[in-house]
Structure 1
């Protein structure tokens, strides 16, 4: 495999862990666990190595996507018995590795990071919110043990056990970063705001135990990519997809893409596998959801335990 994607410990994890995705998790930690991975100078390279890792793993281990799909469902947030469950829209393992380090270093908290597959495909908020809370969107959930946060101000939390909090961050900032001239520096600013919001939630909650996770991650098409397509496949993909998912229809283009293992059918939708993209050069839309790839379908599980005053 390409130099730099893993070291001996990550290679051993890929070979020996009972679940191959525990090995993938360690490979992603190698890429995103460094201090400046989200910074302006490092972000493009980290995204490229993430894409390269996934492409090579899929070549070396063909059942990769089938096994990931088989593990979806029964996300740990659905079996929370006490404490506070915080769902941060589109929080990915990229941010998770940094949160694990910084929250432990800056507070007197016990912090650990794991992962879980998303609840289901397509990896879009509307579908996952329907599974978890039987609502069309996080803002329409009507439960006494639930609070939705659309901005950076934390309202009074339910105080129930368990309680659930769903934040629109970091995704609303990621969505805003798609428009106009995309700046890699903004990703670090987005992270800092999401981190500050999480810290405020911890301080405002009556609980001392928190499970911080997300509905899905995201794919960032910033910079170069090792994923290539023939002109025919590129035309088919561009003609049928405006995002990483599309409704099923009787089309030869879909059949061609499915036979080439570029897309996969999930019930009434097709989703794009890996990091294939169809946008024209120079397109400002870089960050997308809804497809079937490692960074958007492996969600962070950040376990935080504070002191008896709820983190104050």
Structure 2
């Protein structure tokens, strides 16, 4: 196979090729002109400071728009809800406190508490006087002799006898059956007088070797407290038995309620049952309910006490309040 020999380049071809190579290398080394899209943001004035200010203005417009909406002010905070809960609880407790059954329960609890405190105080007062009675009963007997030992038993058996009488009167008084027996009263005063006399005798002027008013008062303190309790307790219990808790026939179903008295002669705003007087009495009762002097649904007894009217009038006012409600 025959091949055609390649002709050798001429000096003009070599010069032309070198010129083309120099032009190509010059174009690669020279910088390209920047395009409009590649220009930095600062060329249009959009600096970081301008961008921050634009964001701040946009935020201010949004805040001004939202501040005109009062919806957040209508939502109760935790403190408001807590206070509303406390107010509702106080109102319910007040309403419950006006209920006749609740008032009777509160009176019974207070009565038991007072009786228990009185009996404890009476026991301590009699125990306080035990040492004084022992000194009187021992009459100078040697310590731990039979007379000295038995002298310690004088005050306890007198105190137990007195506590039997006082305890029986107190218990029956709490059951609404107070004992008004002159015999029991004389027995109480006999025991108390013996205790007081035996405590005070060794320290009286002319009897004591050296009289001291402080020692005399200290030894008669127990009997004096016992006398005060024995005298006051029946009076307190009698007052509890006369309490009126406002119960009427509606709140004592199946149980014999207390008797209603007839219309009294005490003048009141609603003793006359005609329409004008009944309307005035009903309006007065509504005012008392609004002011809190009467419960929301008062009984006839409560209306009778508040308006100072008869039972029939109180019942009529109660029925008018119920119909109005």
> Structure 2-normalised TM-score?
0.20
Greater fraction of residues in strand: 1
Larger Rg: 2
Greater fraction of residues in helix: 2
